[in-house]
Copies of this chain bind each other. A is one copy, B any other.
Amino acid sequence: MKIALDAMGGDYAPEATIHGAVWAARDFDIQVELIGQPQVIEAELKKHDTSGLSLSMAPASQVVRMDEDPAAAVKSKPDSSMVVGAQMLKRGEVDAFVTAGHTGGGLAAALMHIGRIPGIKRPALCTAYPVSSEAGLCIVLDIGANPDCRPDYLYQYALMGSVYSEATLGVSNPRVAVLSNGEEAGKGNRLVKDALPLLNEGPFNFIGNVEGTDVPAGLADVVVTDGFTGNVFLKTSEGVAKLLMGAIKSGIADGSLPVKLGALLARPALKSAATKLDYREFGGATLLGVDGIVVIAHGRSRGYAVRNAVRLSVRCVRGDVLGTIKSRLKTARTQAED
């Protein structure tokens, strides 16, 4: 298996990307194709022991920076690592493309140079989200590809998210829910209410509405929502986790000597809770609905997060996410024509 990695994308590229690539090549027995400026990549590779690893390089002279207008940058930089990676995937030279560059840039490059799966109306950004139930993770989409959504998009998100949950997390017959302002069937905005009849008939295990509290509680395996609400949902989760861990920290800092000592002893328990919402563990968001496996890692990814983003792309390929989505889409269409 050959995974293309945008060596130039992300806040800590190329150190983090090359470190992650080396790590992934060693751990997952795959070939990693590094895309970017050869001299930069080579200099970085020298810092690592790469003997026995399958690492290759594809030159790309330009870089899409984090502060650029993403769509414009992707258009004006045809030899950027982001565009070159997307084109390699399109031509079938690699099995997946991973970038920690600008999310909007990744989206634009994928849409322009890979295109949608035939029949898919809008691709969606899809992420794993930590939950307290046994499963430990739930799939949420769309987390920001399309802020404005239609009922038929939600239907396709449910189909794709269900396949993704099976393939990457091994959940069988995942429970699919729609995020709403109440659990009852009557609750919802216009979009949710209009989508319910469609969702009830889809080729997936639809269980109805869930509230914001229900998602961290693990009441669903796949949660579909419009990209606006999904983005607010995800960022709010990050913000609240930061707020709480910050409040604990300052409570310790302001505390008595016994409190400080106690915190030191209890550190492992606090640390394990903090990693519970840590994006580095999940490896990034997958852009579902484009005709190839594209993983967009967090811009702040360090080596470990890049390694996990590559792992995620490997799981998508091994689980045949793309092929399964295509075949389920056919079933769905046949159903619709009945």
Contact = CB atoms under 8 A, between A and B. Distances in A.
Interface of A: 130-132, 144, 147-148, 179-182, 187-190, 192, 211-217, 225-229, 231-248, 251-252, 254-256, 258-259, 261-270, 272-273, 276-277
B268 A251 contact: yes
A216 B232 contact: no
A66 B52 CA distance: 66
A217 B264 CA distance: 26
B273 A190 contact: no
Given A181-B227, A251-B269, 13 more contacts: A180-B228, A211-B239, A212-B234, A216-B236, A216-B240, A217-B243, A236-B236, A237-B240, A240-B240, A241-B244, A244-B276, A262-B266, A262-B269
B261 A265 contact: yes
Nearest to A212: B235
Number of copies: 2
B213 A236 contact: yes
A72 B125 CA distance: 40
Contacts of A255: 266, 268-269
What secondary structure prevails in chain A residues at the interface with B?
helix
A233 B230 CA distance: 10
A236 B189 CA distance: 17
A22 to B, nearest CB: 31
Contacts of A267: 259, 262
A111 B229 CA distance: 28
A240 B277 contact: yes
Contacts of A262: 261-267, 269
Contact of A244 (B231, B239, B273): B273
Given A212-B238, A232-B179, A265-B262, A270 B248 contact: yes
Which of A144, A228, A276 has the most B CB atoms < 10 Å from its CB?
A228
B269 A252 contact: yes
25 contacts: A132-B246, A147-B188, A148-B190, A179-B232, A181-B228, A181-B235, A189-B226, A189-B228, A212-B231, A212-B238, A213-B239, A216-B240, A216-B242, A217-B239, A217-B242, A225-B232, A232-B232, A240-B240, A243-B277, A248-B270, A251-B272, A251-B273, A259-B267, A263-B265, A265-B265
A243 B130 contact: yes
Contacts of A245: 244
Given A217-B242, A240-B241, A259 B251 contact: no
Contacts of A240: 216, 236-237, 240-241, 244, 277
Contacts of A239: 211-217
A95 to B, nearest CB: 31
